[in-house]
Structure 1
């Protein structure tokens, strides 16, 4: 009986191991997606800062109203792109948290099966030792009876 239940536990542990592997891959992908999204967001902010510095330099030298209006229109479009990329970053963070939770749950599940297998193995060893001890006791009893 123990070997049958132990076999089932080992099958479940293998399935749990595969789930951990898949969850790990999904977590790594979510981390990569977040890093890429954050990189694009940071790049857009740096790009905006560069244009803001350029605008300030042009303003101190003097610039036409049309050129100033062009800068303002460009900033509106750039700010819109920054806000959109901020949404992408926020979504990527949510996805990372979801995948982290799934990974943690899969790890706990696998660990539970590992503990159950370990207990089952320990019980099987104890049963075997008890059986061996009983056989040794019976053998010793027979030997003492035969000597008399």
Structure 2
């Protein structure tokens, strides 16, 4: 029975496609999450380096304008870090949803695969019965010919 004539095969093929799509989407989400985390790490590292320069400049003596500039820029970095942390958190939620979707689609595919396997086994049993019936009929005919 072809996939065109077998609804279970059609559903199984469709489920495979959905799993493939969910797998691709999950890969994209994971890559995006990683990129967001890398950007956050870079911002945090840059803030640390800038703060160290600020501390060194303060020890060497700086004027009020330079103090305001350093302080203002660190505040902007803190805002950027907070915003990027929110983006990372949102990306993690999206990745978790993508993982749940992938598991859901995989479980559906497994269910259709189990149905398909049962159908194949049932068709095989029917074919075996048919072959046994034909074999029995052949044996009976041969036995009757030998009797005559």
Deviation for aligned residue 1:4: 8.4
Give the Cα separation in 2 of the matches to 1:135 and 1:78: 83
Deviation for aligned residue 1:69: 1.9
Q: Check if 1:141 corresponds to 2:140.
A: yes
Q: Check if 1:23 corresponds to 2:17.
A: no
Matched with 1:54 is 53
Q: Check if 1:37 corresponds to 2:36.
A: yes
User: What is the Cα-based RMSD across aligned positions, in Å?
Assistant: 1.6
**Structure 1 runs (4+) greater than 3 angstroms displaced:** 3-6
Deviation for aligned residue 1:145: 2.1
Q: Could you tell me the TM-score, scaled by structure 1's length?
A: 0.92
Deviation for aligned residue 1:104: 1.1
- After TM superposition, the structure 1 = structure 2 runs for residues 1-148 of structure 1, keeping only pairs within 5 Å, are 3=1, 7-148=6-147
Structure 1 SS opposite 2:82: helix
Query: Runs of 5+ in structure 1 lacking a partner?
Result: none
Q: How many residues align?
A: 146
Query: Runs of 5+ in structure 2 lacking a partner?
Result: none
Give the Cα separation in 1 of the matches to 2:117 and 2:109: 12
Give the Cα separation in 2 of the matches to 1:74 and 1:52: 10
Give the Cα separation in 2 of the matches to 1:100 and 1:94: 10
Give the Cα separation in 2 of the matches to 1:19 and 1:9: 15
